[in-house]
Structure 1
Amino acid sequence: MDFKQIEQYFRRGLSNREILALLKEVHGIKISNRTLERILSKHQLWRRKNKTDEADVVAFIQQQLQTSGQSHGYRWMHQKCWLNGIITDRETVRVILRLLDGEGVDLRSRNRLRRRVYFSRGPNYVWHIDGYDKLKPYGIGISGCIDGFSRKIMWLEAYRTNNDPRVIAGYFMTAVIEAEGCPNLVRLDLGTENVNVAEMQKFLHHGTQSDSTCVSFGPSTSNQRIERWWLTLRSQCIQFWMNLFDNLKEDGHYADTFLDKCLILFCFQNLIQVSHVLFCSTEFKCIMSVQTC
């Protein structure tokens, strides 16, 4: 029998029962619990002896809570303690986590993520720009931009494409003209449709800011303000059109051909655009009334 396997499982904080199950299923080794206890005792592997001082356990968990460890439950944190040579028990880890990160424990118990804190310095400080593709299978792409501070929609356009950099640049310049100024920062993803917008933003800030401080690139999933807006837009507006087009497809009236997409665009683009404008106007008024209160 290879003792290193038993020691490895023991160092991971596994119980005797879990070690026996792994030995049997993975390695084909079947031994009794009493035999396992003798092997562990012979090599001075004890769970109740030589425990790490609780102050060191607290310090380790505090350090983990400053990183991705803030997402760990007490079982996972207990495993990390043992993997880092800290001998303790699960109950101690559970109590320490409750004391140090009670909010995180409550969020995990409700299967909720820790909310990120969003901050913007003022109106037109940062514009969040992104495309929405839920109606793309039916030939309609949506492009949107939202002010991070006021949550005012700078533009929300339904068109046959949201991937053409010239089209997105046109939306951007129209918004700049209407706002009588450009934002301090634009937040974009790395799609090719945003290349012209980035260059225009840099040109407008030429000599006043460096390129890195007036344009920010990152994945769409991290573009917090506009992603939250897409969620609201879908639940209050887009879901209706998705259901309508899905029904057309199920009833055999839509075959996903170029002609069918052109017909959808011709019949529904203006209707979708009007519903967007009305919804954005109502939503912004509600936001401003709440902020005023």
Structure 2
Amino acid sequence: MVCLILGLIDAHGVALRQAGTINNDPNIAIHLDGWNKLKPYGLSIHGAVDGFSRRVLWLKCCDSDKKPMYISSFYIDYIREINGIPVRVYGDSGTENAIVRDVQLALRWTDADQYEGILSFVYVSSNRKVRIERFWRSLREMCGNVWMNHFKDMSDFGLLDTSDSVHLECIRYCFLPVISKDLNEVYNIWNSVRRNNRIACPAGKPEVLFFQPEVYGARDCKYHWLTIGN
């Protein structure tokens, strides 16, 4: 039933996924998104996933995932880590991605390929961000439900007033470092555990798929710093 519905509302995307043309190599498409289940309690989580390997590229807790300077800093840290630029970035049409979009377009403006310039950043709806949306479900199972229930209990027992900005600042001060530690554990576990595959990419550990794609007949498609503009 889900397949039939997707075929109706996103026929073009389904055709591309079946042809294996969207996420067929590392860094050819990365997917950005925010997880807002903790937003009522003054916290937000933002992450990114590589479309081919399903490797989590970053997973950060902050006071808001709607601030462009936060999202852009996560993205810039990532391109520094890989010493290159992903071919395409997929993200929501919200203002939080404005700086990421501008940086991606600027860095890919003079490249000579079919996704150069304005085509290197794509605004997409949630039903087209399959990789990151699937990860959010796992995040909720791994640690998200624990924190959601904890803060809900605090509210129910009168220990937390979500309409009081002082209470929210206290939540951030006390819990942001703890949640960040949990997210770091999720990041490491997710990237190092072998995954079964029922989609158009190989099964394997995300870290291996991402850093050793040649083993699976793929290649890292990032644009290296030295090739930018050539």
Cα deviation per residue 1:95-148 (whole Å; 9 max; x = unaligned)? xxxxxxxxxxxxxxxxxxxxx757512111111001111000000011111111
State the Cα distance separating 1:226 from its structure 2 match.
0.6
Alignment counterpart, residue 177 of structure 1, candidates 80, 91, 100:
80
State whether structure 2 residue 103 is matched by structure 1 residue 196: no
Which residue type is aligned with residue 135 of structure 1?
Answer: L
Cα deviation per residue 1:216-270 (whole Å; 9 max; x = unaligned)? 1111232111111111101111100000000001111011110111111111101
State the Cα distance separating 1:68 from its structure 2 match.
3.5
**Does the residue aligned with 2:204 lie in a helix, a strand or coil?**
helix
Q: Distance in 2 between matches of 1:287 and 1:204?
A: 33
State whether structure 2 residue 184 is matched by structure 1 residue 281: no
The residue number in structure 2 matching 1:123 is: 26
State whether structure 2 residue 143 is matched by structure 1 residue 241: no
The residue number in structure 1 matching 2:134 is: 228
Higher relative contact order (CA 8 A, sep 6+): 2
**Does the residue aligned with 2:194 lie in a helix, a strand or coil?**
helix
Q: Distance in 2 between matches of 1:174 and 1:204?
A: 14
Cα deviation per residue 1:166-186 (whole Å; 9 max; x = unaligned)? 111111000100111111000
**Does the residue aligned with 1:166 lie in a helix, a strand or coil?**
helix
Structure 1 residues 228 and 288: alpha-carbon distance in aligned structure 2, compared to 1, 3 A threshold: closer
Which sections of structure 2, spanning at least 5 residues, go unmatched? 1-6, 10-16, 197-202, 206-215, 217-230
Q: How many residues of Structure 1 are paired with residues of Structure 2 in the alignment?
A: 183
Which residue type is aligned with residue 253 of structure 1?
Answer: L
Alignment counterpart, residue 214 of structure 1, candidates 114, 117, 120:
120
Percent identical among aligned pairs is 29
Q: Distance in 1 between matches of 2:151 and 2:128?
A: 29
Which residue type is aligned with residue 174 of structure 1?
Answer: D
State the Cα distance separating 1:283 from its structure 2 match.
1.4
Choose between structure 1 and 2: higher helix proportion. 1
TM-score with structure 1 setting the length: 0.58
TM-score with structure 2 setting the length: 0.74
Q: Distance in 2 between matches of 1:167 and 1:255?
A: 26
State the Cα distance separating 1:212 from its structure 2 match.
4.1
**Does the residue aligned with 1:291 lie in a helix, a strand or coil?**
coil
**Does the residue aligned with 1:287 lie in a helix, a strand or coil?**
coil
Alignment counterpart, residue 51 of structure 2, candidates 142, 145, 148:
148
Return the index of the structure with the highest Cα Rg: 1
Q: Is the 8 A contact 2:45 2:65 kept in 1?
A: yes
Which residue type is aligned with residue 148 of structure 1?
Answer: G
Which residue type is aligned with residue 247 of structure 1?
Answer: D
- Off by >2 Å, runs of 4+ in structure 1: 116-119, 209-213, 287-290
Q: Distance in 2 between matches of 1:268 and 1:222?
A: 32
